[in-house]
Amino acid sequence: MKNILAIMAMLALIAWGIYDISHSPANSGMSTGGEQGEKQKEATVGIKKGNIAPDFELRTLDGTKMKLSDFRGKKLIVNLWATWCPPCRAEMPDMQAFYEEQKEDNIAVLAVNLTQSDNKEKVSAFIKEFGLSFPVVLDVDNKVADTYQVVSIPTSYIIDSKGVIQEKIIGPMDKEMMDKLMSSID
């Protein structure tokens, strides 16, 4: 009798787990209501694919405040980098070329410099050296890097126009990769 009860309890737990997983918007890719607006309401803030990207506010070199949420309505690449990082240096010409071609098409790039391991003078020189025209903000306290769990740079998050993370890319990207990633999202 104890074995039958134990088996029934295990089956109930398995059934509940399957139901829970299959009805989770983040795991199924679908909302229970089927409406896009409901999907966003049900999405949670986090750093995984399908999560709403955690908002942050940082300053540019000239002190202007900029929030991630300021970019809602645009497809966005959030690139976390440092001036001393060779792969970061390698991807910047492609990122600038991509931005120049796409900035009129509701696509943006936001470069988050990990300033705790850099300094403002190096960042300024880097921006001039590569002719960067997209916004660069300074993560002086590494709060954004910690929130987004950056362990290797460059790390980029591909975020759709609703603020939902679509991809996380660790390592450098080239222009072709950026074009492909951005054309695959809303």
Instruction: Quote the percentage of the chain above a pLDDT of 90.
Output: 75
130 membership: H or E segment, kind and range: helix 120-130
pLDDT in tens, 65-123: 999 999 999 999 999 999 999 999 999 999 999 999 999 999 999 999 998 889 999 99
> pLDDT category, 186, cuts 50, 70, 90?
confident
d(CA 18, CA 122): 52
180: left (phi over 0), alpha (psi -120 to 50) or beta: alpha
Joined together, the tokens standing for residue 113 give 């410099």
> pLDDT category, 43, cuts 50, 70, 90?
confident
Place of tokens 């002719």: 131
Per-domain residue ranges of the chain: 1-42, 44-183
CATH code, 44-183: 3.40.30.10
d(CA 107, CA 86): 26
Are residues 99 and 173 in contact, defined by beta-carbon separation less than 8 angstroms?
A: no
Query: Is this model's pTM higher than 0.85 or not?
Result: no
